[in-house]
Amino acid sequence: MTKKIYTSEDVARLAGVSQATVSRVFAGGTAVSEKKRKKVLEAAAKLNYALNAHARSLTTRRTRIIGIVMRNIGNPFYSAVLEIFYDRLSVLGYHILFINSENEEVKESEIRQLIEYNVEGVIITDALLSSPASEKFNRSDIAVILFNRYSAPSKGSAVFCDNYMAAKQIATYLLETGHRKFAFISGPSTTSTTLDRLKGFRERLQQKGVHDLIIEAGDYTYENGFRSAQELVTRHSDIDCMFCGNDIIALGAMDGLRIFGYHVPDDISIVGFDNIRMSAWPSYSLTTWEQPLEEMVDATVKILMEEIKNKAAKPKVKLMKGKMIIRNSVKSRK
């Protein structure tokens, strides 16, 4: 025996008005006399009426749901991102359908779910969309935006940090502080973030006449940073600085080096990327690049909202700057 769940019909009957009036009271917008409004609200309160969002979205064709596809929630950078997205979207009256993807490219089944639930927009963090996938969203009139990634320039909207310029500045900083032998511990070589950071870093070094850059590939994990740093110093004892693809790698690298008896920054300088909370902790005090998280999220939400309002809008790509955060993991070697 399942419980009776009251509908606007029930409320209407109890309040002595039509269902249409009840709908008007709850949907807002249209005028209802003060007298009836009160009656309706009283009746609704008595029955503990809650409107049915699914029925509503069936007629309005608006679900007020945003799909958010994430990877690496374990990375504090992304859990912070999720928190801020929730904050901004809930203020706008949107709800979040959460998907934790595991792949570089969003899966077919995940896309289908988002379409079936008729989300108004999709935010994809740290993952990509294949062309057919992007086409599917497009056909279903669902706005999509990549966060912290981009694909082809014309393919869709994206908000991300100018990793290329950032990496250049980091290289400059390491050169200016007198470093000679450079290493880069990268994330997966398929990601645009990794590639751009590597590109900027390498180019600036080459501009300054440094053509020797040792690269250790891996993924964006602590364990990877740990092992990679150890391997680097084992194979190249003259390395005096490491630029890490992100902060988690950098923290792992610092610990890996310490285990081997190296001192950071006295023996080796380390630079990260992201400025996650932990990089400020005194045990690490990591020099890193701060991505302007809140502004990135704000920009993402703004673009997405525009696209939802105007489906035909042209894709927008927004490049953010960020800034260097200097702490104590780099030592001047002049």
Q: How far is CA 71 from CA 68, 98, 142, in A?
A: 10, 11, 21
> Are residues 155 and 131 in contact, defined by beta-carbon separation less than 8 angstroms?
yes
Nearer to DNA, 38 or 235 (CB): 38
DSSP 128: B
Q: Which is closer to DNA, CB of 23 or CB of 279?
A: 23
Q: How far apart (Å, rounded) are the C-alpha atoms in residues 262 and 260? A: 6
Residue 29 binding DNA, by CB under 7 A: yes
Helix, strand, coil content of the chain in percent (nearest 5) = 45, 15, 40
What lies within 8 Å, CB to CB, of 246 at 6+ separation is 75, 77, 187, 220, 272, 273, 274
Least gap, CB of 91 to DNA (angstroms): 20
Q: Which one of 42, 45, 60, 138 is in contact with DNA (CB under 7 A)?
A: 60
**140 touches DNA (CB under 7 A):** no
Under the binding rule (CB under 7 A), the answer on residue 27 touching DNA is yes
Binding residue for DNA, selected from 35, 139, 211, 314, defined by CB under 7 A: 35
Q: Which residues in 26-37 are b (16+ Cβ under 10 Å) and which e?
A: beeeeebeeebb
**113 belongs to the binding site for DNA (CB under 7 A):** no
Query: According to the binding rule CB under 7 A, does residue 282 interact with DNA?
Result: no
Among 1, 31, 91, 312, binds DNA (CB under 7 A): 31
* Minimum separation from the CB atom of position 97 to a copy of itself (A): 6
- Report yes or no: 215 and 186 within 8 Å, Cβ to Cβ: yes
Q: Are 47 and 10 in contact (CB under 8 A)?
A: yes
Torsion angle, alpha carbons of 133, 160, 152, 87, to 10 = 20
- Residue 23 engages DNA in binding (rule: CB under 7 A): yes
Q: C-alpha distances in angstroms, 331 versus 241, 248, 251, 265, 328? A: 9, 20, 17, 5, 7
Q: Cβ neighbours of residue 25 under 8 Å, at least 6 residues apart?
A: 32, 36, 37, 40, 41, 44
**Site membership for DNA, residue 328 (CB under 7 A):** no
Nearer to DNA, 14 or 70 (CB): 14
Catalog residues that contact a copy of itself under the rule CB under 8 A.
2-3, 5, 48, 50-55, 57-58, 63, 68, 73-74, 76, 79-80, 82-83, 86-87, 90, 95-100, 112-113, 115-118, 136, 139-141, 222, 251, 254-255, 258-259, 277-278, 281-284, 311
Measured from the CB atom, is 48 or 237 closer to a copy of itself?
A: 48
Does 32 interact with DNA (rule: CB under 7 A)?
yes
139 vs 211, beta carbon nearer a copy of itself: 139
| Shortest Å distance, C-beta 136 to DNA | 15
**CB under 5 to 8 A by kind: which of a copy of itself, DNA, none does 206 bind?**
none
Q: What crossing angle do the helices spanning 108-116 and 131-139 adopt, rounded to 10°?
A: 10
Site for DNA, rule CB under 7 A: 5, 7-9, 16-21, 23-24, 26-27, 29-33, 35-36, 49-52, 55-56, 58-61
